[in-house]
Amino acid sequence: MSDAAAPVRAGRRGRGGGGAARRAERTAVSVETAKYIERNIPNYEVLTEGALDTIEANAEMVLAEIGVNFVDNPAALERWKSAGAQVDGERVRIPRGLARKLCATAPSEYTQHARNPERNVVVGGKNLVLAPVYGPPFVRDAEGGRRYATMDDFEKFVKLGYMSKWLHHSGGTVCEPTDVAVNKRHLDMLLAHMVYSDKPFMGSVTEPSRAQDSLEMCEILFGKEFVQDHTVMTSLININSPLTFDSVMMGALEVFAKNNQASIISPFIVGGAMAPVSVAGTLTQVLAEVLAGVAYSQIVRPGAPVVMGTFVTSIDMNSGAPTFGTPEASHITYGAGQLARRLGLPYRSAGSFCGSKLPDAQAAYETANSLNMGLLAGVNFMLHSCGWLEGGLVASFEKFVMDADMLGTLHHFAQGVDMSENGQAMGAIEEVGPGGHYLGCEHTQANFKTAFWRSDLFDYKPFETWDEEGARDTQTLATARVAKLLDTYQQPALDPEIEARLRAYVAEKKASMPDAFG
Amino acid sequence: MSDAAAPVRAGRRGRGGGGAARRAERTAVSVETAKYIERNIPNYEVLTEGALDTIEANAEMVLAEIGVNFVDNPAALERWKSAGAQVDGERVRIPRGLARKLCATAPSEYTQHARNPERNVVVGGKNLVLAPVYGPPFVRDAEGGRRYATMDDFEKFVKLGYMSKWLHHSGGTVCEPTDVAVNKRHLDMLLAHMVYSDKPFMGSVTEPSRAQDSLEMCEILFGKEFVQDHTVMTSLININSPLTFDSVMMGALEVFAKNNQASIISPFIVGGAMAPVSVAGTLTQVLAEVLAGVAYSQIVRPGAPVVMGTFVTSIDMNSGAPTFGTPEASHITYGAGQLARRLGLPYRSAGSFCGSKLPDAQAAYETANSLNMGLLAGVNFMLHSCGWLEGGLVASFEKFVMDADMLGTLHHFAQGVDMSENGQAMGAIEEVGPGGHYLGCEHTQANFKTAFWRSDLFDYKPFETWDEEGARDTQTLATARVAKLLDTYQQPALDPEIEARLRAYVAEKKASMPDAFG
């Protein structure tokens, strides 16, 4: 069901005073964004078919015999009853095979539309869409240290994401703007994504009413009819592991599913706390939870786009701290990818995960472990692909651009090996011969510009030059890059009338509510 | 031909005064070293069978039509002629199929013996043996900065390697001790490996005579008869890519092969300079070079243990600097692993590669990319698995312990997923149920100690504690770890008579030669 290539601007452009819109477009600077990754490489599969069969059978047993809880949600219990589940209080027991059967109506891939159709993404299949960090209440940069996030920080992260070549998606709560009331900040956040970026974005999930607000703002941005027929948000619905679905998240899921907007249905697991301390046990619980959540979305609206999510960390049993980039998390990420493909669902996992307090070597080791694994595990939507620090408590400006740079390696690796005649380069080997040098040969001259991935951030200078220039480490280089990107940022073109209507909607909504904090 | 399990101490222990040896053993502290990695996971394969066929056919064409040069080595040319190659000057053209046929006598795996048989390693099969950085003329630590390496530095690295749980091998030139004459330093280096560690090590390759010295020192350490029947060194023979075999390296190879000692036969390639700028072209040249080198080793002595080596970096075409942890290097490493397995040879590649000048985030991203790839590529012997900095110009004390810690993740990942009843953890899921907590459950209590890999170095503390303790980054933690390891180092037991004979050999040899520098 991919229609990424189709022109879908009808109802958006042209409307709302062509002159002003055209003027806005003329003055905007074009920012280069790579197309989402279309893998030309195999996936890595850590589990045998037999192991997958066992985990699937165990997950069915969990759903049928233990069941899941749908909390404070009588309508959901009614829906489950009608669908054939056994409901006992808030406990829903799903007969073997039922959940998987209900999941079958979920699409295996879908297009999420952006206001700039060149930024549309297709989630699923062999694709990988990269989105930034989500949720940190703190931010950090080298100059200001660690502090509570504000709306100003939020806007800066949206701008950095817009300017990052390897990021395909603007994300959602890139940080929690704590200087805006809890009940209002979703409006400012969505406005920032809509105005300061033209990449696709996520909707609010913290109340069903906020999901509804997200939808209404999308109707202004994309046009009401367009939103009815097209998916314009992919939002994050966490499951309260183990096996619990709360009414807030389910309420938001209901709003999105009814309106054909996409949801990532995602267990949130610190292994050993919210799931068994073993990989196979965790995968069983993850699969049971996803089956129940996705099945529920399809009861609400068959065909609603959903993504199988898996957020799993291990735990340091000495300190109780969640740990990242660990081999056990990798096993789970690879295994869950296999389960998602057998279920025929797009898959969300991995990210720039780390436990470190600073964007230092620990952070980079842990992050690289997770990013590489995400690519090879067949992840289709990678939330948190850049900027994550300190177990997700902090969004780091420096790490955002460091990780975003490193995402380029995933794009290049995913291209696979060029086996064309030019790739085989037999002429070059013959031309150079034993003891020769390839730098000057024709094949090198013809190919060197695109042959190798090159970091836009890392240091490749001779030692002496690097030393004279201040012996800067990666964080110091990243501080300079953040400043440069924000200095040269220019807002992407947006019809001024649409922008005015969005701002009016937000102002009106905010004025209608008292401030709620905490 | 693995005999790792067989007791092989005959002729070594007992000889040379049991009392002193027993006393030395009683006072020594036992250091825990993990067994070499035995993979219980699949390899990742980036190339199709068709692509492998093409590369193999191309490599045969290179050998038959372009050929390789054996420089300043008339005996080698004679050997090649007798084996059926066409020799024209120093150019050796190898008819299609001949090199592969000659390679067939090389063992697919071999045991390298250590003086402590518990540290024996089996190179090949599904195993991965980890050895430290090799070759840097400089060292760096946080306190002293970057400086020329000395023998004191060398000994410290050997001690750190001995104390590193995840390192199976003591390596070779862990740094170049520039305060000892070039023609003598191999003696001091070997002595350090033999005395300060009981892990397996590498021999000298910089002159055939130094390879011979290495052998003679092994005869003192292991006993002459033992060395005749057992492999006690794995040494690094680089090919002068493209397609050139110099007499120094080939001379060392000849000494080792004749004496049944193992050699890694390894193209050394900066892509775009010593090989085509494309992945498939580089793989073709790598395979041709390895086929010629391994075939030559088998002409010298059929059955001599050898390893297919692949050292490949990409190049930054802006600065000419070699770059590390890049996607192109990963393609080559995965592809070369597939070629090695089809050739039935153990495989050496990957390492703690990075271009960064400091053990910072750049260093860690690049290193993690390479380490992960090495595990999944089926590498059997990973030289440079810790301590590499600045493109190999620098051995870093801090990075040595940082990387060595990270090698633990490879061990844990390689175990694969436990699908036993305990691993499935269905009892735990039932016990905890929806909304419960796993921390206290029986399954968690029974398994938490071994369930998750845990760093011995990284920071897992709560933010406040970490902040109060000085907000230390990874490098700072590593500085402390280096000091602690060196402070608590104790020499492993060694028969004092053997040690005395080794020292006498070295002293005598050194006294017999003038100093040569440079």
Model pLDDT for residues B140-191, shown as the tens digit of each residue: 999 999 999 999 999 999 999 999 999 999 999 999 999 999 999 999 999 9
CATH number at residue B242: 3.20.20.480
The minimal CB distance from B474 to the residues A242, A361, A393 is found for A361
A390: closest chain B residue by CA: B463
Order of strands, sheet of A394-396, starting from the edge strand that comes earlier in the sequence:
A145-148, A138-141, A394-396, A388-389
Chain B, residues 110-169, CB within 8 A of chain A, namely 146
User: Is A421 contained in some domain?
Assistant: no
The minimal CB distance from A326 to the residues B326, B453, B473 is found for B453
Q: How confident is the model at residue B318 (pLDDT cuts 50, 70, 90)?
A: confident
User: Is B442 contained in some domain?
Assistant: no
Length of chain B: 518
Interface contact B470, partner A, CB < 8 A: no
Interface contact A360, partner B, CB < 8 A: yes
Interface test with A, best of B398, B438, B439, B463 (most A CBs within 10 A): B438
* Cα–Cα distance for residue pair A440/A460, rounded to 1 Å: 21
Chain B, residues 473-502, CB within 8 A of chain A, namely 473-475
Measured in angstroms, the CA of B276 and the nearest CA of chain A are apart by: 6
Which residues of B fall within a CB distance of 8 Å from A275? 438
- Judged by average pLDDT, the poorest of A322-331, B1-10, B84-93, B305-314 is B1-10
For residue B25, pLDDT beyond 60: no
User: Is B427 contained in some domain?
Assistant: no
Measured in angstroms, the CA of B470 and the nearest CA of chain A are apart by: 12
Measured in angstroms, the CA of A220 and the nearest CA of chain B are apart by: 39
Residue type, A37: I
pLDDT for the residue A518: 59
Please tell me the pTM assigned to this model: 0.94
Q: Verify whether the Cβ–Cβ distance B328 to A424 is below 8 Å.
A: no
- Per-residue buried b or exposed e for B316-347, using 16+ beta carbons within 10 Å of the residue's own CB: bbeeebbbbbbbbbbbbbbbbbbbbbebebbb
User: Is A425 contained in some domain?
Assistant: no
Is residue A311 a contact partner of residue B478, using CB atoms and an 8 Å limit?
Answer: no
Chain A, residues 268-327, CB within 8 A of chain B, namely 271-282, 284-285, 314-319, 321, 323, 325-327
For residue B517, pLDDT beyond 80: no
Q: How far is CA B103 from the centre of its chain?
A: 22
pLDDT for the residue A320: 85
Measured in angstroms, the CA of A256 and the nearest CA of chain B are apart by: 25
* Cα–Cα distance for residue pair B23/A68, rounded to 1 Å: 64
* Cα–Cα distance for residue pair A153/A359, rounded to 1 Å: 18
The SS3 assignment for A121 reads strand
Q: Where are the beta strands (DSSP E) in B24-76?
A: 37-38, 68-70
User: Is A299 contained in some domain?
Assistant: yes
Q: Verify whether the Cβ–Cβ distance A357 to B419 is below 8 Å.
A: no
User: Is A495 contained in some domain?
Assistant: yes
Which of B495, B501, B499 lies closest to B22, judged by CA?
B495
Name the domain count of chain A.
Answer: 1
pLDDT tens across B41-99, in order?
A: 999 999 999 999 999 999 999 999 999 999 999 999 999 999 999 999 999 999 999 99
User: Is B162 contained in some domain?
Assistant: yes
User: Is A431 contained in some domain?
Assistant: no
Interface contact B253, partner A, CB < 8 A: no
Domain that holds residue A465: 6-416+452-518
Q: Verify whether the Cβ–Cβ distance A419 to B280 is below 8 Å.
A: yes
* Cα–Cα distance for residue pair B43/B253, rounded to 1 Å: 30
Is residue B323 a contact partner of residue A460, using CB atoms and an 8 Å limit?
Answer: yes
Q: Verify whether the Cβ–Cβ distance A417 to B335 is below 8 Å.
A: yes
Which residues of B fall within a CB distance of 8 Å from A367? 365, 368
Q: Where are the beta strands (DSSP E) in A208-252?
A: 234-239, 244-245
Judging by DSSP bridges, how do beta strands B306-309 and B311-315 pair with one another? Answer: unpaired
* Cα–Cα distance for residue pair A162/A192, rounded to 1 Å: 11
Q: Verify whether the Cβ–Cβ distance A357 to B462 is below 8 Å.
A: no
A355: closest chain B residue by CA: B460
User: Mapped to the 3 state alphabet, what secondary structure does B391-453 carry?
Assistant: HHCEEEHHHHHHHHHHHHHHHHHHCCCCCCHHHHCHHHHHHHCCCCCCCCCHHHHHHHHHHCC
| Paired tokens of A139 | 């931010």
Residue ranges of chain A with per-residue pLDDT less than 50? 1-17, 25-28
The SS3 assignment for B328 reads helix
pLDDT tens across A377-417, in order?
A: 999 999 999 999 999 999 999 999 999 999 999 999 999 99
Q: Where are the beta strands (DSSP E) in A89-158?
A: 91-93, 109-112, 121-124, 127-130, 138-141, 145-148
